[in-house]
Amino acid sequence: MLPFAALEWFWEWAAFALSNWTFLEVLEYLGSFSVLVAAVFYFSESGDRIKQRHYQAWQVINTAQGKGGSGGRIEALQELNEDKVPLVGVDVSSAFLQGIHLQRANLLRSDFSSADLRNSDFRDCNFTLANLKSANLRGAQLDRASFAGADLRNADLNGSSLSNADLEGAVFDNADLRGVDLAGARWQDIRSIAGANVANIRNPPAGFVSWALKHGAVSIADADG
């Protein structure tokens, strides 16, 4: 056992000697300092990383412009909106964006024409002057959204919710409005509704249905058949 005892004594002596070596203490401090410096640089460059992420998201959207399918645009649009980036003028015409979540997005003058937006969430969005011609918005949540001056000709809004939405100046010619929830919607200044199907409107504001029929709308419950 003597060799083991001697070895243990040696390591105890070495540990004692090193514990009193100031150089090692300095190295320990330097290690902690390097971690602090790395953290400072990481946070100082966070703005550049966010800009790079936004640039890549816009690149995805613009590269797929005018094409069908999603092409990663659902994730890109949602990421930009979560970072509160305005989506003014975005062009996603003919895109497959079913189930997208863009609550409170600024979609001023955007182009969603012929896009598949079924069961999407656009609550509190700004669709002012947007192009939603022939868009499929079946079952979409559009509560409190602003459609001021928007083009919704031939849009399919069957079963969607437009409660408390602003429809001032919007065009709904030949749109499918069957089963739409219009509770509290501001409809009095709708620009045109000729040919729109207003059958089975849910929670219609007082006077809306009669006004719509008077201005060229129709009420055909089984239009799909």
Phi-psi region of 181 (alpha: psi -120 to 50; beta: other; left: phi over 0): beta
- Tokens 């100046």, residue located: 169
- What is residue 222's predicted lDDT score, i.e. its pLDDT? 82
Q: Which of 173, 164, 171 is nearest to 148 (CA)?
A: 171
- Tell me if 91 sits within 8 A of 107, measured CB to CB: no
Any domain includes 102? yes
Whether the predicted model's global pTM rises above the 0.75 cut: yes
Any domain includes 2? no
Any domain includes 171? yes
Return the DSSP state at 93.
Answer: T
The CA-CA-CA angle for residues 215, 144, 132, to 5°, reads: 60
Any domain includes 12? no
- What is residue 28's predicted lDDT score, i.e. its pLDDT? 62
The total of structural domains in the chain comes to 1
- What is residue 38's predicted lDDT score, i.e. its pLDDT? 57
Paired tokens of 129: 């002057």
Any domain includes 63? yes
- Tell me if 72 sits within 8 A of 96, measured CB to CB: no
Q: Is 33 exposed, middle or buried (0-12, 13-18, 19+ CB in 10 A)?
A: exposed
Any domain includes 92? yes
Any domain includes 94? yes
Backbone angles phi, psi at 65, to 5 degrees: -55, 130
- What is residue 130's predicted lDDT score, i.e. its pLDDT? 98
Question: pLDDT digit of tens for each residue in the chain (225 aa)?
Answer: 555 555 565 556 555 554 555 554 555 655 665 655 555 554 555 556 788 889 999 999 999 887 788 889 999 999 999 999 999 999 999 999 999 999 999 999 999 999 999 999 999 999 999 999 999 999 999 999 999 999 999 999 999 999 999 999 999 999 999 999 999 999 999 999 999 999 999 999 999 999 999 999 999 988 665
Range of the domain at 151: 45-214
- What is residue 219's predicted lDDT score, i.e. its pLDDT? 97
Q: Residue 83 is part of a domain; what is its CATH number?
A: 2.160.20.80
